[in-house]
Chains A and B, each alone.
Chain A
């Protein structure tokens, strides 16, 4: 009897039920899309903020105090980091969060006319195959995304060529009358060579006077095989909180539990600490300009999205609730009739609720699928990458739809049950 009545409603009043299911589907898709986006927006924006370049610099321990102050570049052992240790950066606890890094070596050289020029050796699109099986292209191409290539192109490390190549700054190019395709002779302390200029860049700073080339070419010029001056690391980080600030000052001041929390959270300070652990005699410090601002912008964006999500969730909830109430109220004469022929209150409530819930489940499932579609549209249009759907979205949406549907129908049913069947049937 019960199932027959329900089937009856669902089939005979399918138009009305589809309308309700459709509205519930809209609400559920809205909730799914917004929740998926809001849960993933932090990662996505973090990735975008990588255009500001590295947020961690690693320098040799002794140089961090001596070199910069007394201009003692190139003197003394231990003032360099070791090139062969570079791969270790991708082995730290937060290796997955390290999206990019590049070593740098600064070399003084001179042009044929004797004028001095600063040369920097680095990675451009250095291909790495990590022990984990992961592959990564790291280097300046992405770490200096704001450089404007005026002429030619970026150095391509993966190109198979025997020629030594270099990129020069726009101001140097203008002064020396050089352009892409020209050859330039450079002599360093330990070697000299002809370099093919593949690109002229404009960086908007003092780099415009410099020459950039591949790491080993620069090392050869200076006779500093296997040495590097600094490493720039671009890492995805969690905004600092009090614990992170305390730990950054002195990791020793933490309790064991705090230390574990700190070490296992992607704070910029804990990543720095872990880099120091793997690179011999190094000091890794956050570039505050980038690290700090990232945190601020990330928090604001997240908060903004959370509030927009809350608004749309409230909107969706009220919308569904409203419609469900309306559809129950509309059935006052039907309910009155059932009561008049002797139905118990419990039976009536059970019948109406089952019908509504069945509709809600169908609508909710369709809505969830549509919502995933919407979130992918957002992901691909804005960030050019898919939004990860978190499993926790499913229970949240399910609970939300259930609560909203019940909240919409129960008060209406109770109100109708309180009425006298005669009054309802009479049409009052």
Chain B
């Protein structure tokens, strides 16, 4: 009887189904986005660069200890880890601070670095800070000789001079513009000294609690260095991210509330229209209970179909948003499907209940007469 009624009143049912499906789409789409925003936005905030610094307790630490410390952080949370080693070198007879690093990871921990030219990609290439470049009049593509001298102890003296090609000029607006950057392996060759590091920058995704936990874990390992959080980045990220999340939450709640009321009014309108039918059934002897059961069954079935349709379309929408905004795909939340369906059914049931009750409560003769 329910299916027959659905088939007969096709156009009206399509209207109701469409309303429910729109509501369900918005529900599942927005909730999926809401849950995914912290993760996706958190990744955007990694643009601010390193949020954890590893600094030696005494003087320097070994690259082996560095790797062991990094292993404390889960792979999926570690955006990048860049080791740094600083030495004084001479270019054009000027004493300069040179930093040996791994450029591939530096790109990840310092995504805001603006390089005029190219990042060094092969051996014996240099990237120099903007201030140095201006002062020494060095342009990308030039070759400069870098000298390293060290008088360790009394007699032993290391003095090396190697030619480097300058590939790019670095501007950051910060102190990085006063450094010369070279690959760590090149620096080891230049200084004849391997395996030591002075500092490391880590970019780790996660809230401040997670970061503190990681820092404690690294510090408890006693690798000869301290892991510290960069307060400026972590504290500000927490503030801003919580605001953004609150924004999306509030928007979601308001949009959902309005949409659900909209669905309810549409359902109410569709059912109210059928007062005559209800009156007729009562007149030919149907009991109130059976009418309510039948109409509610019809409404809830529509709710279920609309919910299934909506949760599917909603996921597609959330996926489209994620790809467009964050260029990454969204994870499917299976739990959301039953929730969407249940909410759709509940909303339609509530929306149908009142008009049906008011229709069954009155005298069938009055309803049929159209009053």
Contact = CB atoms under 8 A, between A and B. Distances in A.
Nearest to A18: B265
Contact of B112 (A19, A41, A65, A289): A289
Contacts of A34: 251, 255
Contacts of B272: 16, 19
Nearest to B317: A311
Contacts, number: 211
A45 B326 CA distance: 17
A274 interface: no
Contact of B235 (A146, A292, A311, A315): A146
Given A202-B231, A315-B259, A382 B246 contact: yes
A23 interface: yes
A8 to B, nearest CB: 15
A19 B354 CA distance: 14
B231 A323 contact: no
A308 B259 contact: no
B155 interface: no
Contacts of A41: 247
B37 to A, nearest CB: 7
B231 to A, nearest CB: 3
Contacts of B11: 329
A315 B22 contact: yes
Interface string B235-247: 1100110011011
Given A23-B266, A303-B324, A68 B25 contact: no
A6 interface: no
Given A68-B178, A289-B174, A326 B229 contact: no
A204 B240 contact: no
A285 interface: yes
A204 B228 contact: yes
Contacts of B26: 311-312, 315
A66 to B, nearest CB: 8
Contacts of A289: 48-49, 110, 112, 172-174
B262 A27 contact: yes
B258 interface: yes
B325 A300 contact: yes
A64 B231 contact: no
Interface stretch (A48-56, A152-160, A253-261): A48-56
B350 interface: no
A203 interface: yes
Interface in A374-413: 374, 377-378, 381-383
A19 to B, nearest CB: 6
Given A288-B174, A304-B321, A323-B266, A48 B239 contact: yes
Interface residues of A, number: 71
A319 to B, nearest CB: 4
B44 interface: yes
B262 A23 contact: yes
A327 interface: yes
A286 interface: yes
Given A204-B229, A312-B26, A319-B22, A49 B112 contact: no
Interface stretch (B66-74, B127-135, B143-151, B338-346): B127-135
Contacts of A316: 258-259, 262
Given A288-B113, A327-B269, A146 B236 contact: yes
B6 interface: no
B152 interface: no
Interface string A133-172: 0000000000001111000000000000000000000000
Given A145-B236, A303-B325, A326 B270 contact: yes
Contacts of A319: 19, 22, 259, 262-263, 266
Best-buried of A68, A69, A329 by chain B (most CB within 10 Å): A69
Given A304-B325, A378-B250, A311 B29 contact: yes
A293 B48 contact: yes
B33 A300 contact: no
Contact of B232 (A146, A288, A303, A315): A146
Contacts of B132: 69
B18 interface: yes
Interface in A280-313: 285-293, 296-297, 300-301, 303-305, 307-308, 311-312
Given A45-B240, A204-B231, A319-B263, 5 more contacts: A202-B231, A289-B48, A289-B110, A293-B47, A311-B25
Interface of B: 11-12, 15, 18-19, 22-23, 25-26, 29-30, 33, 37, 41, 44-45, 47-49, 94, 96, 110-114, 131-132, 134-135, 171-175, 178, 228-233, 235-236, 239-240, 243-244, 246-248, 250-251, 254-255, 258-259, 261-263, 265-266, 268-270, 272-273, 317, 320-321, 324-326
27 contacts: A19-B265, A30-B255, A30-B258, A45-B244, A48-B243, A52-B240, A53-B232, A53-B236, A57-B173, A69-B178, A145-B236, A146-B236, A290-B48, A292-B111, A292-B114, A304-B248, A305-B251, A312-B255, A322-B18, A322-B19, A326-B12, A326-B15, A326-B266, A326-B273, A378-B250, A381-B246, A382-B243
Interface of A: 16, 19-20, 22-23, 26-27, 29-30, 33-34, 37, 41, 45, 48-49, 51-53, 56-57, 64-66, 68-69, 145-148, 202-205, 285-293, 296-297, 300-301, 303-305, 307-308, 311-312, 315-316, 318-319, 322-323, 325-327, 329-330, 374, 377-378, 381-383
